[in-house]
Amino acid sequence: MAEATTPKSSAIVSVGAIFAALSGFSILIITARTLTAEDNAIFLAFWSTLFLITGILSGIQQEVTRAVANESLISRKEESVRPLILGISIGVLASLAFLAVSPLLSHVLETDYPAAFTSLLIACGLTLYAGQVSLLGVLGGNKNWNLFASITSCEALGRLTFITLVALTAATTLRFEIATVIAFALWLLFFLHPQVCRSSHFLVSVSWKKMTRQIGLALAASGATALLINGFPLLMALTTSLDEYKNSADLVMAVSITRAPLLVPIFAFQSVVIAHYVTHPEKRRSTTRTLFLGLSGFALCASPIVALIGPTIMHAVFGASYRSTGMILGILIVDATLLALLVLGGTITIALTNYKACLLGWYTTATVSFVLMLLPFSLEARTLSTLTFGPLLGIAIHFSTILRSDRERRI
């Protein structure tokens, strides 16, 4: 039975989000403490590549959530599609596409084993992840938040457990990579739960062609999202010499750790946000204002605090090889907030089925960011300027569209 979207359900999802954030942060600490800075830079490139593509596939979850949440608002038609089967099919296609282009990434995926092995490992993870987010989309659309949070928490805690076991036994870059991917299979254990079995057979009243097109639009939007968030360390590696990148592990780590506490919960709450905007159109304006002001307030409070104590904490937690100035860390906190606003705006435009605005905002940001990363400056200068100025136009596009949509609804 579906649960209402209430403060309690939001708290349940928060638990999963917190576990995911803590898991990701802990893994970064473990690998930094276990591997050399150079080897950890390679692991972070793998991590970035994997979660770049899974970030793209998260568009499946957004569209499935919207379609399932909307199912109760429409009359059932003869044509229908099973989201789980469609999602896994898309995951298989994504895996094959990645394997086709993976030779282009061989120089950043090479470990003790050939890059082809790492590429195959990533491809397996993509198919598993596509199935997981399809199921999460159905659960989110039906507001089954307990199971939703259980699956996300299980993946996060499972990955942390596997990574810890590798660190305590025989730590290598490749073994950390295997441990990372295995966690994507844990959602299959939930088929022991009868409600998950029922959700896996859930149908939405739309044709395969239309649903595929809608998911394709969501994937296109998620592609730019993933490039700027999950895949940014990979973009840093691809636009920089390998030696400079390996010697910039502290900057790569700083980018990752300043984002995770904010962006991981934002992504975890996407299904909650979409379901809320679909089922409560009368609250769109007030909800948007609250979310925007809340994130802005976070940046104003957190940035000076992190600038003051961040360097000391980073040195103590990650080791002597990881040093960043307070100014860099403070700027990165503001940058993380800008990206969070961009993610939030894109999620809301998808809930409003305004894919054009979502795509325009994200790809404007991606274009500006890519151009800035190609400028002939140091990696540090390019990274900070890209993360600060890249999202601004996209944020303006998303939120102007949301406010305009609300005005049109009121007329």
Q: Tens of pLDDT along 116-159?
A: 888 999 999 999 999 999 999 999 888 888 898 899 889 999 99
Question: In Å, how far are 90, 110, 243 from 105, measured between CA atoms?
Answer: 22, 9, 16
103: pLDDT strictly greater than 50: yes
How many other CB atoms sit within 10 Å of the CB of residue 153? 19
pLDDT of res. 112: 66
pLDDT digit string, tens, across residues 30-54: 998 899 888 888 888 889 889 889 9
User: Cα 216 to chain center, whole Å?
Assistant: 17
Q: Percent of the chain at pLDDT above 90?
A: 34
| 407 contact partners, CB below 8 Å, separation of at least 6 | none
Report how far residue 196's alpha carbon sits from residue 131's, in angstroms, rounded to the nearest whole number. Answer: 12
Buried b (16+ CB within 10 A) or exposed e, 25-63: bebbebbbebbebebbbbbbbbbbbbbbbbbbbbbbbbb
pLDDT of res. 371: 94
| Four-residue CA torsion sign, 229, 234, 240, 244 | positive
Average pLDDT over residues 8-22: 70
Report how far residue 275's alpha carbon sits from residue 39's, in angstroms, rounded to the nearest whole number. Answer: 42
Q: Output the furthest CA–CA distance in the chain (Å, rounded).
A: 64
Q: Is 370 exposed, middle or buried (0-12, 13-18, 19+ CB in 10 A)?
A: middle
pLDDT of res. 62: 84
User: Cα 57 to chain center, whole Å?
Assistant: 9
pLDDT digit string, tens, across residues 266-300: 777 777 788 788 777 777 788 888 888 988 898 99
With tokens 């054009």, the residue in question is 356
Tokens of 117: 């092995």
Average pLDDT over residues 165-179: 92
Average pLDDT over residues 208-218: 87
Give the bridge partners for 15, in sequence order: none
With tokens 């007329």, the residue in question is 411
Q: Which is nearest to 254 in space by CA: 50, 46, 51, 32?
A: 32
Q: Which is nearest to 63 in space by CA: 88, 83, 90?
A: 83
**pLDDT-based confidence at 246, cuts 50/70/90?**
confident
pLDDT of res. 9: 57
Q: Which is nearest to 176 in space by CA: 314, 50, 18, 319?
A: 50
Coil, strand or helix at 269: coil
What is the pLDDT of the chain when averaged over all its residues? Answer: 85
313: pLDDT strictly greater than 80: yes
Coil, strand or helix at 270: helix
pLDDT of res. 314: 87
pLDDT of res. 76: 54
Report how far residue 389's alpha carbon sits from residue 365's, in angstroms, rounded to the nearest whole number. Answer: 9
**pLDDT-based confidence at 11, cuts 50/70/90?**
low
Which DSSP symbol is given to 204?
B
Residue 133 near residue 94 (C-beta atoms within 8 A): no
pLDDT of res. 129: 97
pLDDT digit string, tens, across residues 347-374: 888 888 888 898 899 899 999 999 999 9
Residue 3 near residue 144 (C-beta atoms within 8 A): yes
Q: Which amino acid is at 147?
A: L
The better pLDDT of the pair 18, 124 is held by 124
**pLDDT-based confidence at 407, cuts 50/70/90?**
low
Half-sphere exposure of 384 (CA within 13 A, CB side): 15
pLDDT of res. 1: 44
395: pLDDT strictly greater than 50: yes
Report how far residue 160's alpha carbon sits from residue 146's, in angstroms, rounded to the nearest whole number. Answer: 21
Q: Which is nearest to 145 in space by CA: 93, 94, 199?
A: 199
pLDDT digit string, tens, across residues 52-92: 899 899 889 988 988 888 775 554 556 788 999 999 999 99
